[in-house]
Amino acid sequence: AQRVTQPEKLLSVFKGAPVELKCNYSYSGSPELFWYVQYSRQRLQLLLRHISRESIKGFTADLNKGETSFHLKKPFAQEEDSAMYYCALSGVTSGSRLTFGEGTQLTVNP
């Protein structure tokens, strides 16, 4: 079975501070990992995916297969980064279905 765990329900940092949102997964195989974000009063949207190895809005995430983690990082948090962040996984056995973590509510204080 595949599972995604986000250990922090709430995370609060000050503007300009580094931020790391943790994501751990269990999957027997090679997963595809994603981060989705939901800003206040907006719909869920894709932030980034590991396969693209991209940086979006200053965020990066590296897939660590040894630690089965896909933590989301940003060196200098901005107030507009305040949102709910979901880590998600899909695999060969699940086809196009995504399994989501519990979500982390990030608040960036001025």
Partner 1 sequence: NAGVTQTPKFQVLKTGQSMTLQCAQDMNHNSMYWYRQDPGMGLRLIYYSASEGTTDKGEVPNGYNVSRLNKREFSLRLESAAPSQTSVYFCASSGLDRGTGANVLTFGAGSRLTVL
The residue ranges that bind partner 1 (CB under 8 A) are: 4, 6, 9, 32, 34, 36, 43-46, 49, 51-52, 86, 90, 95-103
**DSSP E strands: which ranges in the chain?**
3-5, 10-14, 19-21, 24-26, 32-38, 45-49, 60-61, 72-74, 83-90, 99-100, 104-109
Of the pair 5, 15, the CB lying nearest partner 1 is at: 5
- For the record, the structure tokens of 62 come out as 């590296």
Rounded to a whole number of angstroms, the minimum distance from the CB of residue 86 to partner 1 is 6
Q: Which is nearer to partner 1, 28 or 96 (CB)?
A: 96
Smallest gap from residue 69 Cβ to partner 1 (A): 17
Nearer to partner 1, 17 or 46 (CB): 46
- To partner 1, the closest distance from the beta carbon of 21 in angstroms equals 13
22 — alpha (psi -120 to 50), left (phi > 0) or beta?
A: beta
